[in-house]
Structure 1
Amino acid sequence: MYHNWLDRWDERRARRGEDGKKKTDLVFDAERAFRGAKDVDTVEEFCLLADQALADPRYFDEPGGSDQGFAKQDGWLKFPSDISTDVEENNVVWAKITESGSFDQALVIFHHWNASARNRQIADYFSHRGITVVEVAMPYHFERSRPGSEHADYMLSANLGRTIQSVRQAVWDGRKLLRWLKSEGYREVSVLGMSLGSWVAGLIAAHDPSVSKASLFLTAGSLADMVWTGRATRSIRASLEPEIGLTDLRRAWGPLNMENHAHRFARPDLDLHVVLAKRDQVVLPELSERFMQRLKEAGARPNILKLNCGHYSLGLPPYILLAGFSLKRFLSRAANSTREMR
């Protein structure tokens, strides 16, 4: 009975903002995603470029730009993004810093798609326990929102190239921020990603050796599968489906599929923590399970917590408390000590 109510609660929560998610057209915009690429006319042409990007081990490496331009004031940090887009607001990265008074550890948080506010409770909770929390705005979110937009439609959409560009921009922004934190003297830097933010945090952890711990909430490997099957992305599937099938979408967004980078999560100096929802209709449990299996096959040993709730009801007691306590233990424990929780 309780779980039936919980499922209905999740469905009501999923309907919020749904009116603003409009069906659009499939757009390639290959030049946004792949350096030096010209616009393409077919799905196959786009997929060939995506194959090349996936084979490039430096695709998510920063361009080696200047570290100048960081400005910190009154608990806020801002700096220029190394990717310039046609939305001026999106080209400046904003982050809220909740300091702990210690330089032992910093936790960088990437929120979920269409997040409307940062989470002061999480920031206060961990900062009071000696962990400085940095909540960064992903592309087209918070201070970086596109003027006039009702949600972060440029971050994830039926525009294949812009979606890749946006996730890549988020990874570059995050890595630039990590480098700044290290220069400020933080001994250990961890990342936390929630839902879409988990793809960003995961790709950063996979490619940046400065990350010692990564916590991924409500995650899976294939962004294409998540969009195709998820409750929150029905309008994107409706936009894509007349022109492209799931098999081609997987290939087109291959660089963003964390399963394709699973071997990178197995490096011995990275600890991995995952929180999953068994009743999730946004990131389906079978997609999460497939990713966990791929990680284990690659040699990674994720610390997994599965909760009997949905995507949105993870934010309700007792689930959010269980997830928070699990994260606290993970961040507090000695590096490279692993344990799987069922």
Structure 2
Amino acid sequence: MYAWETRLTTRDTNRVVRPLEWGLDWARRWPLVNGNFPSPGGDSERFLHDLNDKIVANSDEFFAYQTPTDFRLETRKIELFPTGSNASEKAPKGDGIFLRFTSPVRTPYPENDLVNARWFETGGRRAVIILPHWNANGIAYNALGPLLNRFGISVLRMSKPYHDIRRPAEIERSDYAVSSNICRTIDAARQAIVDLRSCIDWLYQQGKDEVGVLGTSLGSCYAFLAAAHDARLRACAFNHASTYVADVTWTGQSTRHVREGLERDGLTLDRLRQAWLCISPMAYVKKFAQSPKKCLMIYAKYDLTFIPELSRQAEAAFRENGIDLKTVVLPCGHYTTGETPFKYMDAYHMVRFLAKNL
């Protein structure tokens, strides 16, 4: 299983090693900053250390937003938007219905700031927002839409920042979502949480007021952060879960190129953990536990990307804080979860949980 997993994590050759950048320009529009930036040549790391603590203590303000006013549905051709260097998958023929709106969080990339979410509608009040994994293409998880529809659950499959149709032309992969640019990575997470919460606003406008979220890998991290700050999410399926963004980056096979760029400039795990504290689930477990939710946590026994030790730590933190949690351990790895037969096992547990708890 480890050999299979390693083959899958190393098949792409278009990962780019980038140098460490603090990226403070990305923070200039953030709440809580108040223009208090270090002078040129100042201590950027100390500034971010203190800012992370301030964000965690005032996270409702950091993840606050204005509901978009330009929600609209578009019918458009289904496209793949591949990220792998040897992508052979093809998009199915036909059109899909997509929710589009302008993200309340703005970046230098107009294509990234136009939110995209495939809409699979059915009757009733129940709906789920799906957040795919890091570097997912444009059709990943679409099969869950019709499947959940059969259980009376409508689905929004949201493209995360810098993914598929939102990916800037200058990058082949969704590198800007998680990279060695510290503040850009934080900004991408903030945008994802705000975009997801905006999707909830739209669902409520459609009469869908029993809402859950299903996130995989990086999408799981974003889903947790959103649910910690939005009590409207009443059922949460975390498909691969971990503790700190830094720890996953440091220990996972999928992020070796990110770690390499950070280590070249002398950054350590402890320092990175503090730099990304404000977008790490462990910083908000107590806040997450404040509103009642049903939760499913799925992790994989042979995972080399979200290593099981970190998943077990996340599970323990959930239980210590009284969170209503069901845990499933799959007999595979991170990437092999998407392979037969494990993808069917994974889908079974997620769909069964959501059908029962929404």
TM-score, with structure 2 as normaliser = 0.87
Q: Give the one of 127, 131, 138 matched to 1:110.
A: 131
Q: Which residue of 1 aligns with 2:83?
A: none
Q: How does 1:115-154 map to 2 (within 5 A)?
A: 115-118=136-139, 119-154=141-176
Aligned to 1:47: 49
1:20 corresponds to which residue? 14
Structure 1 window deviating more from structure 2 (239-248 vs 218-227): it is: 239-248
8 Å CA contact retained: 1:85, 1:91:
yes
Secondary structure (helix, strand or coil) at the match of 1:58 reads helix
- Which structure 2 residue ranges, 5 or more long, are not aligned? 76-96
**How far apart are the structure 1 equivalents of 2:67 and 2:314?**
35
Shift of 1:41: 3.6
- The worse-fitting range, judged by mean Cα deviation, of 262-271 and 300-309 is 262-271
- Check whether the contact 1:62–1:175 (CA below 8 A) recurs between aligned residues: no
Partner Cα separation in structure 2 for residue 292 and residue 55 of structure 1: 23
| SS of corresponding position for 2:201 | helix
The correspondence of residues 264-303 of structure 1 with structure 2, limited to 5 A, is 264-303=287-326
1:325: which partner in 2? 348
Q: Distance in 2 between matches of 1:66 and 1:158?
A: 31
Can you list the C-alpha shifts for 1:46-100, whole angstroms capped at 9, x where unaligned? 211111111113244322x253111113311100001111111111101100112
Residue by residue, what CA displacement relative to the aligned partner does 1:202-261 show, whole Å, maximum 9, x if unpaired?
A: 111111011010100111021110001100001111111133111111111111111111
Paired position in structure 2 for 1:67: 68
Residue 268 of structure 1 deviates from its aligned partner by 4.9
Q: Show the counterpart of 1:340.
A: none
CA distance, structure 1, for counterparts of residue 114 and residue 293 of structure 2? 29
8 Å CA contact retained: 2:67, 2:201? no
Residue pair 1:212, 1:271 contacting (<8 A) in 2 also: yes
CA contact (8 A) 1:195 1:217 kept: yes
Q: Does 2:180 correspond to 1:161?
A: no
Query: Residue 9 of structure 1 aligns to which amino acid in structure 2?
Result: W
**CA–CA separation in structure 2 for the residues paired with 1:197 and 1:16:** 22
Correspondence list, 1:228-267, <5 A = 228-241=250-263, 242-267=265-290
Structure-2 separation of matches of 1:286 and 1:234: 18
- Cα deviation for residue 279 of structure 1 reads 0.3
- Cα distance in 1, alignment partners of residues 11 and 325 from structure 2: 33
Amino acid at match of 1:106: A
Distance 1:103 1:325 in 2: 22
Counterpart of 1:56? 58
Per-residue deviation at 1:267?
3.5
In 2, the alpha carbon distance for the partners of 1:330 and 1:233 equals 30
Distance in 1, matches of 2:351 and 2:161, equals: 27
User: Equivalents in 2 of 1:334, 1:231: separation in Å?
Assistant: 33
Tell me which amino acid in the other structure corresponds to 2:44: T
- The aligned runs of 1:303-314 (5 Å cut-off) are 303-314=326-337
Q: TM-score, normalised by structure 1?
A: 0.91
How far apart are the structure 1 equivalents of 2:171 and 2:179? 13
Do structure 1's residue 91 and structure 2's residue 113 form an aligned pair? yes
Give the Cα–Cα distance (whole angstroms) in 1 for the partners of residues 221 and 105 of structure 2: 18
Q: How far apart are the structure 2 equivalents of 1:266 and 1:45?
A: 29
Residue 2 of structure 2, aligned match among 3, 7, 10: 7
The percentage of counterpart residues that share the same residue type is 31
Q: CA RMSD in A?
A: 1.6
Residues 1-54 of structure 1: CA distance to partner in whole angstroms, max 9, x if unpaired? xxxxx322221111132x322221111123423443425543222211111111
CA contact (8 A) 1:103 1:187 kept: no
8 Å CA contact 2:151, 2:355 repeated in 1: no
- Greater shift, 197-206 or 258-267, is seen at 258-267
Cα distance in 1 for partners of 2:16, 2:340 equals 33
Matches of 1:92 and 1:149 in 2, distance apart?
A: 17
Q: Quick one: structure 1 residues 306 and 60, their matched pair in 2 at CA, closer, same or farther if it must change by over 3 Å?
A: farther
List alignment gaps of at least 5 residues for structure 1.
Answer: 1-5, 336-342
**Does structure 2 conserve the Cα–Cα contact (< 8 Å) formed by 1:263 and 1:299?**
no
